[in-house]
Amino acid sequence: MAATQALKFLNASGIQVSLHPYEYDPNADAVGLAAAQALGLDPSLTLKTLMVEVDGKPGCCIIPSNRQLSMRKVAAAFGGKSAAMMLPAKAEKLTGYRVGGISPFGQKRIVPAVFEETACTAPKVWINAGARGLLLGIAPEDAMRVIKATQLGLVS
């Protein structure tokens, strides 16, 4: 499998990860949950990358695949008044990744990022590696450090 921008970015940053390919289901209702199930992983440690807009400015939220964002908490986390999910086409253009394969690492444009605090207590989490059907395993502190993310409560 060819190295994705996310993997190149992490490698250049000296971050060690494990790779976990799986059969991507384009018809899955919840891509993150489908990935967790396909790999036999805990959904609370299999994280999804969601692109948002807070007061019109882009942001990246990394949360457990079995949880939902609270837009009120997202707005507060980014110091704004209102938050909404970014439209898929805009998220793809901004990140350089396709929806279902968006990674917080190696995005085309650096945007503020926030990790859901409940996902930061485990020794390892699984996050999209920049391609549909490929997750990477990483220590949460390494993930947060390399993208200069903060950790706050984002889920309802």
Per-residue model confidence as pLDDT tens digits over 38-52: 999 999 999 999 999
Nearest to 96 by CA among 104, 75, 46: 104
Let me know: does 83 contact 74? Beta carbons within 8 Å: yes
Let me know: does 20 contact 37? Beta carbons within 8 Å: no
Q: What is the CATH number of the domain that holds 32?
A: 3.90.960.10
Q: CA dihedral defined by 136, 142, 145, 149, rounded to 10 degrees? A: 50
Give the number of domains in the chain: 1
Please tell me the predicted confidence (pLDDT) of residue 2. 61
Judge residue 15's burial from the number of C-beta atoms within 10 Å of its C-beta, 0-12 exposed, 13-18 middle, 19 or more buried.
middle
Q: Locate tokens 């980014």: which residue?
A: 78
**DSSP 8-state code for residue 156:** -
Range of the domain at 47: 5-152
The model's pTM: 0.92
Residue 26, Cβ neighbours under 10 Å: how many? 9
pLDDT digits (tens, 9 = 90+) for 67-126: 999 999 999 999 999 999 999 999 999 999 999 999 999 999 999 999 988 888 889 999
Nearest to 55 by CA among 132, 112, 110: 112
Please tell me the predicted confidence (pLDDT) of residue 61. 95
Let me know: does 51 contact 58? Beta carbons within 8 Å: yes
pLDDT digits (tens, 9 = 90+) for 116-153: 888 888 899 999 999 999 999 999 999 999 999 888 77
Q: CA dihedral defined by 37, 43, 49, 51, rounded to 10 degrees? A: 110
**Residues 6+ away with beta carbon under 8 Å from 124:** 45, 137, 138, 139, 140
